Structure 1
Amino acid sequence: MGSFKVTILLLWVLFTSCSQKLEFKVEAKTLSLPSEREIEAKLKILNKPALKTIKSEDGDIIDCVDIYKQPAFDHPALKDHTIQKIPDFLLEWQNSSSSQVFQTWQKSGSCPEGTIPIRRIRKEDLLRAGSLDLFGRKPPIHFMNSTNTINSNSHKANGSNAYVPENRSKSSLITVGYNYIGAEANINVWNPRVDLPNDFTTAQIWLKAGNGPQFFQSVEVGWMVNPKLYGDRATRLFAYWTTDSYKSTGCFDVTCSGFVHTGQVALGSAITPISTPYGTQYEINVGIFWDQSGNWWFRVGHNNPVGYWPAKLFKPDGLSHSATSVEWGGQVYSPMVKKRPHTRTAMGSGDSIDSRWGTGCFMRNLRIKDYSQQLKYPESVSTRAEEEYCYNVFNEAKYGQEPTLFFGGPGQAPPYCP
């Protein structure tokens, strides 16, 4: 009889404990969901009053916002900021052989003088993020240690000197040095497959400064397919910045305050047309350049400034004066990179780079700018593919010809990328 009572008592304790845990989980989940009031407040911050609204044929809504009432000025460091004059060097026209690429919304109209085009954020965009605080931000970097477990602090991979991110896979060409004050490239435009709900894929340029993979500042531009952020699988122009390695600062486009928009290009909007296998290859020229006031300008084409990241955003030991590395290439974010089964999210064209021109994604006219004020091909470069059997990279440098960078791949493709 005594043992029976003990058994009953143990079952009761176990049931009570499980109930409390279940109750806590349900309550925590409920508390994490934003209320209708919180969503409306966030939308009001993100979507400034429009002087004109343009409905794009792809479903986007573009608001033409007074340039002096844009989201940038909500940043505490920019309360009294004066919009900067566009540097003369950004307006110097250069010949370009790139096939013309433009934004879909531009077929439906243009914004009047004194306004800038901003893609409207909708309620469903916020709900997909799961958290209002995380909307528009890259997930934090987690690193793998020698036993392939996640560590977001300081473990190295396999005893090497390189930190290997657990939730990202990059294939790129990199140059490392001092005093880079600009970089550009023509990026081949494709529409790669995105597999899992939280995945995204990019083709881009990074300019970074800092002390290693965990303590850096970065400004980034290029094109991206990101269904979670944008709600579709279109190829879209993007910009990103961070001053603390993606921990708590920065965001895509103008989904937070910071980037000062000055031009008539809408960040986050779809670009068209798209390259096709063995068909016409379309490119978009993008570049980031520093001015003497410490601002970093984003330019599309050779004379079309989009806007800039003000010097006040950056720390004195970082991008306030120059970048220490430049990278060109692609990146896939997914919880299922470097794991099995691997994500099927593709990079670049989604095809192997083996065939090169016509099916592989490429970048050409790669240039850096240093204090010599000259645009030039970097003196020293190296390539790195974190998962070479899933996403590869090759810098094709034929004798007497301009080097062309090829990168990308399909993701999961057994037996090479199982």
Structure 2
Amino acid sequence: MGFFAGVSMTKGLMGTINLFMVVMYLVDSKSHHGVEAKKKVEQNEDDLELERQLKILNVPHPLKTIRTEEGDILDCVDIYKQPAFRNPLLKDHKIQMKPSFFPEGEANKNSSATESLPISLKGKECPQGTVPIRRTSKEDLLRARSLARDFSTNINQSGIHFPGQFQVELMTIQVLEVHGEEGGLVHGASAYINVYNPTVEPTQCTSALIWVRAGPNENFDYITAGWTVDPRLYGDHLTRFFTYWSVNKDKPRGCYNTLCTGFVQVDRSVTPSAPLSPVSTIGGTQYVIKVHVYQDPLSRNWWLIITKNSIVIGYWPKNLFPYLGDGATSVSWGGIAQVGSNGVGPPLGNGRFPYDPFPCYFEWMKMVNKDYGIDPLLKKTDITTYVKGKNCYDILYHKYVPERGASLTFGGPGGINCG
């Protein structure tokens, strides 16, 4: 009897345990499926958002489509129907077809050892009344989104340090220390930059750029322009012109080139992501590109102008910026290098340190002052240099000389343990 009772109790206990296990399994299964369902909903919402962005950025029924030698697809769209005007901040925006003026003193001669780099669609410009917009894919948006989180051109001011990102920079001090009537805001910067094609790994990138900034350290606006080699963004190893703008007020917004609404294109032959070719060789011909970012004194829009012939690509409307709409509080010239997944820093500039023979450089560096005049001297007491990654990179400022104006050299080979 006791035996049967024991068996009965054992069966009862085993039944209870089994029931407990079934309940636990069901609860765990339900929780697991709940998490998976939530992820699926979020993924679907993300996919819908990407599709919404693509519909905005890729204007249907372009008047003409251009396929470049480098593989880019450019759609010629009505200048008044370009994606920029889908930005809510640009509602009722009246397009500005050209700057109200060019700052005085912009004409200078290249040295005999340099050639001005041609940048255009090589005779394939868009028809009158249209502008070229690089066709965007879902993969483009996904790549750009992940990169934007790591991109900062304000490391030394804000205290924000992104893992694996190194920077060399020359900055105007007098602007940073301006308060009240001491000097006032500035309205742009320019320089000639020699263009190279440093070898980078698929997860690395390297850039040479000018940037303008405004706002407090933790909440600033900025615009950058220059050249880059960035397979993470473009899926190739070409040297390309590039731009990036960002607003960090409340909810951050901004993007590379035309991968979001905001930048207004006006030129028919050049896009902000244009490939640059030919490139310089160490000790040989130096191909340079002139980059100029400056604020229009009447509209207060920020213009992007490139090359010796002053091609006006387009502008960022003042409405995009809480702080830059009034002017810049600092302007800088320099480079940024992003370490790859292998932990190795890429070459910066042409891979040579600034004190080595034939380094990468910025020449004829100029600043548009508070009165919209050109300041070509940049006296040494007015600037400072900043380097993150001193073991691998460096920057040197050179005083004004008639042959090349104010200039700097920068770069380095990259490597591990850059500091």
SS at match of 1:32: helix
| 2:55 is equivalent to residue 44 of structure 1 | yes
Cα distance in 1 for residues equivalent to 2:415 and 2:25? 43
| 2:161 is equivalent to residue 165 of structure 1 | yes
Paired residue for 1:378?
378
Cα distance in 1 for residues equivalent to 2:46 and 2:215? 38
Paired residue for 2:102?
89
Q: Is the 8 A contact 2:366 2:374 kept in 1?
A: no
Paired residue for 1:301?
307
Unaligned 5+ runs, structure 2: 1-9, 176-183
Paired residue for 2:277?
272
1:147-168 CA-to-partner distances (Å, cap 9, x unmatched) read xxxxxxxxxx9xxx97251333
Paired residue for 1:147?
none
1:337-356 CA-to-partner distances (Å, cap 9, x unmatched) read xxxx7433222112333324
Instruction: Identify the match of residue 32 of structure 1 among 43, 48, 51.
Output: 43
Cα distance in 2 for residues equivalent to 1:392 and 1:114? 45
Structure ranking higher in helix proportion: 2
Which runs of structure 2 are paired with 1:16-415 in the superposition (5 Å)?
A: 24=35, 28=39, 31-32=42-43, 39-48=50-59, 49-84=61-96, 85-89=98-102, 94-97=107-110, 99-103=115-119, 106-107=121-122, 109-129=124-144, 134=145, 137-139=148-150, 163-167=159-163, 168-176=165-173, 177=175, 178-197=184-203, 199-212=204-217, 214-244=218-248, 248-263=252-267, 264-292=269-297, 293-302=299-308, 303-315=310-322, 318-334=323-339, 342-357=343-358, 360-372=359-371, 373-379=373-379, 380-397=382-399, 402-412=405-415
Code of the aligned partner of 1:354:
Y
Change (3 A) 1:367 1:88: same
Between structure 1 and structure 2, the one with the greater Rg is 2
Alignment length (residue pairs)? 385
Code of the aligned partner of 1:361:
C
1:267-303 CA-to-partner distances (Å, cap 9, x unmatched) read 1121111111222111100011111221111111242
Cα distance, 1:63 vs. partner? 1.4
Cα distance, 1:72 vs. partner? 0.8
Q: Is the 8 A contact 2:206 2:230 kept in 1?
A: yes
Q: Is the 8 A contact 1:362 1:404 kept in 2?
A: yes
Cα RMSD for the two superposed structures = 3.7
Paired residue for 2:4?
none
Unaligned 5+ runs, structure 1: 145-156
Code of the aligned partner of 2:189:
A
Answer with 32-41 or 169-178: which moved more: 32-41
TM-score (norm 2): 0.79
Q: Is the 8 A contact 1:189 1:274 kept in 2?
A: yes
Cα distance in 1 for residues equivalent to 2:140 and 2:75? 16
